[in-house]
Chain A
Amino acid sequence: MTKIADPLQTWAQSEYKYGFVTDIETETVPRGLSEEVIRLISAKKHEPEWLTQWRLKAYRHWLTMTEPTWQNVHYPPIDYQAIFYYSAPKQKTGPKRLEDVDPKLLETYRRLGIPLEEQKRLAGVAVDAVFDSVSVATTFKEKLAELGIIFCSFSEAVQNHPELVRRYLGSVVPYSDNYFATLNSAVFSDGSFAYIPKGVRCPMELSTYFRINAAQTGQFERMLIIAEPGAHVSYLEGCTAPMRDENQLHAAVVELVALDDATIKYSTVQNWYPGDAQGRGGIYNFVTKRGKCLGRNSRISWTQVETGSAITWKYPSCILQGDNSVGEFYSVALTNNYQQADTGTKMIHIGKNTSSYIVSKGISAGHGQNTYRGMVKILKGAEYARNFTQCDSMLIGEHCGAHTFPYIEVKNSTAHMEHEATTSKIGDDQMFYCHQRGISTEDAVSMIVNGFCKEVFRELPMEFAVEAQKLLEVSLEGSVG
């Protein structure tokens, strides 16, 4: 099996395309974490008192918590007092029109392939652009508003729709949920907010593009999406960061709420800076994502393609509370060089006839370590719940690892559970077969890996499926051996 390494190793080392830094004046709060810092962040955002108090409650709770150690990832201790918790490009006022956005920021997003000028838009995609701690622009806001859809930065939502924020914030991920979610609850700065009114099918993809720019700064964004009865929405997020030698923390919280007959589809293409080939630098992506299928016949579907970050640690989950509700999780996680991922999902079946579907594809190359961790829990009242789990791992080379930890807890005997798992390896035989037909090593690897991920890619909206394939190719370059 060592033969395969040689031609693969000759592959040119790829460059992280998004590693540039934007030189822009920023305002920050003092380094470190304290009640003063939290009050300062809250004051900068002109938040109502209840929210300031909510943050402080979270902070005080966080002080009583210890960092979890059960995960299968390894990193040196994080000094939480060394991080800047807020960094924002200097601009005059809060919510703004595109004309007022600093040209340097527009240029940054253009280089990232996300033109914010609506006339150059990606057809049919509304974008909220988050730069370090703040949202810098949201496109198509007015057009969506005609349908009653609210799509704006989280800060704007706090100002303009406080009743919605207050009602749903923390309703899926409570402030006390876990170490990183609690930290986020204390210091979150911005993110996106979407509200789809009753019976409305959102006519375009909503998306947020997260960019970390400032050094030694954490990004703590907060997402909240609410789909009223009968509403449909498809939401996408993308992420990049500059190449830096030190690790940066990204601890986000995403909450989704789907009411009767509502559908939320949430897709992520995560390409945070993964660190260099020796494992220096890169983003710690410690994220809590959870959706609540609150209504009958509601559906929440998570699709993620995780190729970036030094460490990815997240479990986009579904609480299936409404009867007949459906939760789905489709995941591709790739770890190359010294990247680590511990990712999967939790499906909590509460309502009757609830079903969940899990497809996880882990790819490990280089010295990458890839863990699937999933929990399927069928509670007592969940009559006739169903789950199907398929969990496949692919190994490329000799030094990587794949691990699978499925937890299944069934408290109702009418449940129907299926679990399938495979581990495969791009073998010498497959490579030789491709070579014998004239196909180069690069093309063969990308063909085999893409074939492996097909079931997940077809869940992504078209343009992003193409993007995800390319991303996978780039992420695999140079690494395999």
Chain B
Amino acid sequence: MLVIENLHVAVDGQEILKGVDLMVGAGEVHSIMGPNGSGKSTLAQVIAGRDTYQITAGRILYRGRDLTELSPEERACEGIFMAFQYPVEIPGVSTSYFLRSALNAQRKYRGLEEVDALDFLTLVKERIRLLGMDERLLNRALNEGFSGGEKKRNEIFQLAVLEPRLAILDETDSGLDIDALKVVADGVNRLRSPERALVVVTHYQRLLNYIVPDYVHVLAGGRIVRSGGKELALELEQRGYGWLSDEQAIEAVAGQAAAERAG
């Protein structure tokens, strides 16, 4: 579903991603872990189409198409969803109105009929219950005055309503207490299906106790330095990121040198 090849990304001339390779297939759950500043959020935002980042080399294919040809809104309509690390507030626009506009924009793009107000209400009420959220949030202005936890849950609630093909969760666990974490994970797990892929970006292993990934990748210094199964996350939890950055960075540099010689 998602193929990233040798992706180099810079912001204001400074390179943040230095050759990332990643393949995510339908039905898979991938976790991207890594220390602060390793480029995890950059990777998430580049996939979603944030234009503050420049792709200097490499490419991203989504269902066989070059993603860079699509605007952020087209990507969304094609089924890419990102749960934001810092969801924004939009004063005066209710959560319900916002989400209905989003859903209908996506349906229109796909040639489907718009959802009327009544059907929409039935849908959102069902989904909001799954997230254990107060229905009154629907009528409040989007994220305005929401607690940190409510904002994060609201992201997963939107994910549940929009039902994307590829969902990227950017540090959704930060700011959540353990109960909220379970509810959010539960909501995400319900969305797991053979057609849908999930990329879970996180600093800590604890979310992965609840959303169990098929693959874990460690991003350090702008590069994926190690990939493995879910055990890798546990190993990181015990040993921290330090051992990796030394050991793997040396390997990575050696590998690149070898590749350059070969090239």
Contact = CB atoms under 8 A, between A and B. Distances in A.
A437 B76 contact: yes
Nearest to B94: A451
Contact of B101 (A427, A429, A447, A452): A447
Given A435-B76, A436-B82, A437-B158, A454 B92 contact: yes
Given A3-B52, A433-B84, A447-B98, A440 B73 contact: yes
A113 interface: no
B71 A438 contact: no
Contacts of B71: 7, 435
Nearest to A437: B102
Contact of A448 (B50, B76, B84, B90): B90
B92 A452 contact: yes
B240 interface: no
Given A432-B72, A435-B76, A440 B105 contact: yes
A438 B48 contact: no
Contact of B90 (A428, A432, A441, A447): A447
Interface string B88-129: 101111000111011001100100000000000000000000
A438 B77 contact: yes
Contacts of A451: 90-93, 141
A447 B105 CA distance: 13
B162 interface: yes
A214 interface: no
A320 interface: no
B49 interface: yes
B162 A450 contact: no
B80 to A, nearest CB: 8
Given A429-B88, A436-B82, A447 B93 contact: yes
Nearest to B105: A438
A435 B99 CA distance: 12
A436 B50 CA distance: 9
Contacts of B92: 450-455
A436 B87 CA distance: 11
Given A428-B52, A438-B106, A433 B87 contact: yes
A439 B73 contact: yes
Contacts of B91: 451-452
Nearest to B97: A447
A160 interface: no
B88 A433 contact: yes
B113 to A, nearest CB: 16
A437 B51 contact: no
Interface residues of B, number: 32
Interface residues of A, number: 25
Given A429-B88, A438-B77, A443-B101, A448 B93 contact: yes
A436 B90 contact: no
Contacts of A435: 49, 71-73, 76
Nearest to B143: A433
Contact of A430 (B88, B101, B102): B88
A427 B91 CA distance: 13
Contacts of B109: 438
Nearest to A455: B92
A259 B88 CA distance: 48
Contacts of A432: 48, 50, 72
Nearest to A428: B52
Contact of A439 (B48, B52, B101): B101
Contacts of B162: 437-438
A430 B90 contact: yes
A454 B141 CA distance: 11
A435 B98 CA distance: 12
A3 B77 contact: no
Interface string B50-84: 11100000000000000000011101110001101
A434 B86 CA distance: 14
Nearest to B76: A438
A436 B52 contact: no
B86 to A, nearest CB: 8
Interface string A412-434: 00000000000000011110111
A429 B50 CA distance: 9
A433 B88 CA distance: 7
A381 B86 CA distance: 52
B141 A436 contact: no
Contacts of B73: 434-436, 438-441
Contacts of A434: 73, 90, 102
Contacts of B49: 435-436
A465 to B, nearest CB: 13
Interface of B: 48-52, 71-73, 75-77, 81-82, 84, 86-88, 90-93, 97-99, 101-102, 105-106, 109, 141, 158, 162
Interface of A: 3, 7, 427-430, 432-441, 443, 447-448, 450-455
18 contacts: A7-B71, A427-B88, A430-B88, A433-B90, A435-B71, A435-B73, A436-B73, A437-B76, A437-B98, A438-B73, A438-B109, A438-B162, A440-B73, A447-B98, A448-B93, A450-B92, A452-B92, A454-B92
Given A3-B51, A433-B84, A447-B93, 18 more contacts: A430-B90, A433-B90, A435-B71, A436-B48, A436-B75, A436-B84, A437-B76, A437-B102, A437-B105, A438-B73, A438-B77, A438-B109, A439-B73, A440-B73, A443-B105, A447-B98, A450-B92, A452-B92
